[in-house]
Amino acid sequence: MTLFLINEGTLFACLVSSYFYLALRNPAWPPAGVEKPSLPIPAVMTALLLSSSGVLVIAERGFAARRRLRYRVGVLLTIALGTAFLVLQGVEYADKLERLRPSQNSYASLFYTITGLHGVHVAFGLLFLLWALLREVRNTAHPPKSLAISNASWYWHFVDGVWLVIVTSLYLSPRWS
C-alpha cells in the first residue's frame, strides 16, 4: 500500500507541477476570459472530506477496541460524506462546464484532469471502504488490526490529503497574484 500511495502521490505531484509550470509561464493565470474558481462549493467539499477522515479515525479506534457498531456506523458515515463530496463535485462541474470546457485551454484541461482524477480516487476509496466494511461484517477482519481496514483507511486519508493540495493549488493560488 505504501508503494501504491507513493505512486499515486507522484502522479498528482506531476499534474500539480504541470499546473504551476504553466501558471508561471503565462502572464495571466487563469487565462484572460476565465474567471477564478469560486470557493463556496470547494470549501464545503473540503469540510466534507476532512470530517470524513476524522470520523474514519474514530471508526478505526472502534474496530481496534472491538466495538463493531462504532466501526460500522463510522465507516457508513465516512462513505456518506465521501458520496456527498462527489455529488458536490458534480454540481460544480455542471456549473463550470457552461463557461469552461476541458478543451478550451491548458488551464481548463489541467483543472478538469486534476479534479476529475481526484474524483475517481474518491469513488475508488468509497468502494475500498465498503469492501473493508463487508470484510468486518463477514467476520474476516479481526481486531485489533486488520490489513484490509488499515489499507482502506490509509487510502482514504491519502485522498483527503491530496484534496488539500488541490484546493490550495487550483482554488486558492490564483488569488495570490
How does pLDDT run along the chain (177 residues), one tens digit per residue?
Answer: 999 999 999 999 999 999 999 999 999 999 999 999 999 999 999 999 999 999 999 999 999 999 999 999 999 999 999 999 999 999 999 999 999 999 999 999 999 999 999 999 999 999 999 999 999 999 998 888 899 999 999 999 999 999 999 999 999 999 986
- SS3 label, residue 122: helix
Structural domain for 129, as ranges? 2-175
- Three cell numbers written together for 63: 474496530
| Angstrom distance (rounded) from CA 30 to CA 101 | 13
Q: Whole-model pTM?
A: 0.95
156: domain CATH number? 1.20.120.80
Provide the 8-state DSSP code for 26. S
Question: How many domains does one find in the chain?
Answer: 1
